[in-house]
């Protein structure tokens, strides 16, 4: 037995004590006695850490799994850190001598309520006041509630759009954003100090306040503040909308928000309105996958709908389906939705006299460069931040009181149109895309045609994401080696197109080819933060970004491929031309 396996066996052995329930002990014992130790190794080779979305993992026993013990241990560490920061005066929302308070929520996933109540018990056992949602709620509403109740943090138990085997734990700070440095490192350090016997399990019910309907109303009113042009909605109030929550938390709040904006012709997919953590009607509850939209599109066809819209289980991300010129359903990708949001916000706020010089937009570094062209040409400030809405929220925090945030998004089907929430927010994004569709219809266009007109104005490119999945310990090592190889052997061309710029966000260095010579300069990112991301820009306008996921066992490749589109009728031809280059790009990258 090698040294690494010995350590794993030792860690697993510690889970056979009375500190763990009998069911957990039986499952761990079976893994230890099995001839094939793969499951044991994957369950115990590491402790789940906070990534771009907090904790996230497959449910089951073990330090590398989501279970009530890992949840409790993480919460004990988080509670220790919150109380430590309170003693040091580290909160702007907490008066001296007041107890720390947090919001706790969960989505529709299996064990969601169990984990949320475990979180609430551990917090209150540590003297922290908890506002616990009465039942499942959207992630953005948890973010809103933290700000609305002037809390110092919060937790939402969710694995977002992951398959049914997963659950997770999103940790939030006092501004309603997911935890960022140095607090993420501080929490991890505290969690690593916690032994299972250190966890305070016995909650104080007097410190738990159940919240629900009143918060829903306040949140719905905040979502309504995103509206830009109510007149166009009133003229197109019969816009035919089909919505599905994919068994998740948007089932009540999103139809309510749409009606509050003035939309009256709203239909839901009844089979997917059922709360179910097994997600029985889809292979995976990820609205990025076309399969998840099938039932919605079928109902949309039956009802002759203008739009089919979905939110994922925790209702932070969205998917939008509209009709093309052949009346066929087309899924609009995350880059396209972000582009439409930014284009519409700028143009219509200017048209209505609502735009100010201090207003700004945000996108992430892997999101479409077309948005940069739109903002630059319109004279609107746009910043690039790292992947994840916590970095967009950080920009809002940095410019609070100096500039006015009017929208931010990323390619992974998410947008945040206001600062009352500091995470991606499908209720506001869905209402706003319906306003955009209403505006397009008011001008004799479909949403699809509106998109094509943006391409005609700013140029076309095809965005494609390739995910290379490598699960487990061996997969993590393989992904690390891939990134090392790209750095040690920089690409000089991709698919026959010369590389003229390389951005490496790990040392935060940009290298540009100028007059045949490579010149280096520093990249200045918020908080001086670094990230394991590489980007290549070619002479012909191709952009390739490479990023290991912070929450899933995969490495992601983002392609932005330009193609000629002389008229709106050439969209299919341009798309085919761009897609034809994908195999050569993948070959250049060795994937």
Residue 413, Ramachandran bin (φ over 0: left; ψ between -120 and 50: alpha; else beta)? left
* Paired tokens of 335: 């880059």
Query: Closest Cα to residue 222, out of 430, 404, 415, 417?
Result: 417
Alpha-carbon span 59 to 66, nearest angstrom: 4
CB burial of 345-373 (b: ≥16 within 10 Å; e: otherwise) equals bbbbbeeeeebeeebbbbbbbbbbbbbbe
Across the beta sheet with 153-157, what order do the strands follow? Answer: 55-58, 166-173, 153-157, 101-106, 129-133, 208-211
Per-position b or e across 116-138, b if 16+ CB within 10 A of its CB: bbbbbbbbbbbebbbbbbebbbb
The residue behind tokens 């990249």 is 523
Beta bridge partners of 363: 384, 409
Q: Considering just the CA atoms, what is the radius of gyration of the chain in Å?
A: 24
Residue with tokens 């931040």: 385
Residues 6+ apart with CB under 8 A from 204: 124, 125, 127
State the SS3 of 260-312: HHCCCCEEECHHHHCCCCCCCCCCCCCCCCHHHHHHHHHHHHHHCCCEEEEEC
Q: How far apart are CA 530 and CA 27, in angstroms?
A: 39
Closest CA to 307 of 206, 403, 239: 239
The DSSP symbol for 454 reads H
CA distance 533 to 521: 16
Q: How far apart are CA 47 and CA 194, in angstroms?
A: 12
Judge whether 239 and 265 are in contact, CB under 8 Å.
yes
d(CA 318, CA 109): 18
- Dihedral Cα 217, 223, 228, 231, nearest 10 deg: -40
CA-CA distance, 117 to 107, in Å (whole number)? 13
Residue with tokens 């045609």: 449
Known catalytic residues are 160
């Amino acid at each position: 037995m090698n040294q690494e396996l010995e350590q794993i066996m030792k860690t697993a052995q510690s889970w056979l004590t009375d500190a763990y329930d009998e069911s957990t002990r039986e499952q761990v014992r079976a893994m230890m006695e099995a001839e094939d130790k793969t499951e044991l190794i994957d369950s115990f080779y590491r402790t789940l850490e906070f990534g771009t979305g907090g904790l996230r993992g497959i449910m089951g026993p073990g330090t590398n799994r989501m279970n009530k013990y890992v949840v409790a241990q993480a919460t004990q560490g988080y509670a220790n850190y919150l109380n430590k920061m309170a003693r040091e005066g580290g909160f702007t929302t907490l008066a001296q001598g007041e107890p720390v308070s947090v919001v706790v929520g969960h989505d529709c996933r299996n064990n969601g309520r169990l984990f949320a109540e475990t979180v609430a018990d551990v917090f209150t056992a540590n003297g922290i006041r908890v506002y616990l949602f009465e039942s499942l709620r959207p992630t953005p509403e948890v973010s809103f509630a933290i700000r609305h109740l002037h809390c110092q943090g919060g937790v939402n138990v969710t694995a977002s759009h992951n398959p049914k085997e997963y659950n997770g734990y999103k940790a939030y700070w006092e501004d309603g954003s997911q935890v960022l440095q140095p607090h993420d490192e501080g929490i991890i350090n505290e969690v690593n100090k916690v032994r299972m016997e250190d966890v305070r399990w016995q909650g104080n019910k007097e410190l738990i306040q159940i919240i629900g309907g009143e918060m829903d109303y306040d949140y719905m009113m905040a979502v309504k503040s995103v509206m830009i042009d109510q007149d166009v909605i009133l003229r197109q109030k019969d816009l035919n909308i089909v919505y599905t929550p994919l068994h998740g938390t948007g089932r009540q709040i999103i139809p309510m928000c749409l009606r509050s904006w003035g939309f009256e012709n709203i239909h839901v997919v009844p089979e997917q309105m059922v709360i179910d953590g097994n997600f029985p009607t889809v292979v995976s509850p990820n609205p990025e996958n076309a399969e998840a939209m099938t039932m919605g599109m079928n109902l949309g066809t039956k009802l002759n709908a203008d739009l089919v819209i979905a939110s994922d289980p925790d209702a932070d991300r969205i998917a939008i389906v509209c009709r093309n010129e052949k009346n066929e359903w087309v899924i609009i990708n995350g880059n396209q939705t972000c582009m439409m949001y930014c284009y519409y916000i700028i143009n219509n706020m200017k048209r209505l006299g609502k735009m100010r010089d201090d207003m700004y937009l945000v996108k992430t570094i892997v999101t479409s460069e077309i948005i940069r062209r739109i903002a630059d040409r319109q004279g609107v400030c746009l910043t690039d931040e790292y992947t994840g809405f916590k970095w967009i929220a950080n920009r809002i925090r940095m410019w609070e009181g100096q500039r006015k945030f009017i929208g931010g998004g990323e390619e992974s089907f998410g947008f945040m149109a206001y600062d009352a929430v500091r995470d991606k927010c499908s209720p506001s994004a869905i209402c706003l895309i319906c306003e955009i569709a209403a505006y397009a219809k008011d001008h004799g266009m479909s949403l699809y045609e509106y998109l094509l007109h943006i391409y005609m104005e700013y140029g076309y490119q095809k965005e494609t994401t390739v995910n290379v999945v490598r699960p487990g310990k061996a997969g993590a090592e393989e992904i690390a080696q891939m990134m090392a190889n790209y750095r040690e052997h920089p690409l000089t061309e991709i698919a026959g197109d010369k590389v003229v710029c390389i951005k490496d966000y790990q040392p935060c260095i940009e290298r540009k080819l100028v007059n045949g010579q490579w010149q280096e300069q520093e990249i200045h990112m918020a908080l001086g933060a670094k990230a394991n991301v590489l980007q290549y820009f070619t002479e012909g306008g191709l952009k390739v970004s490479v990023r290991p996921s912070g929450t899933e066992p995969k490495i992601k490749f983002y392609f932005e491929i330009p193609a000629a589109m002389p008229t709106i009728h050439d969209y299919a031809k341009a798309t085919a031309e761009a897609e034809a280059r994908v195999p050569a790009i993948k070959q250049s990258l060795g994937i």
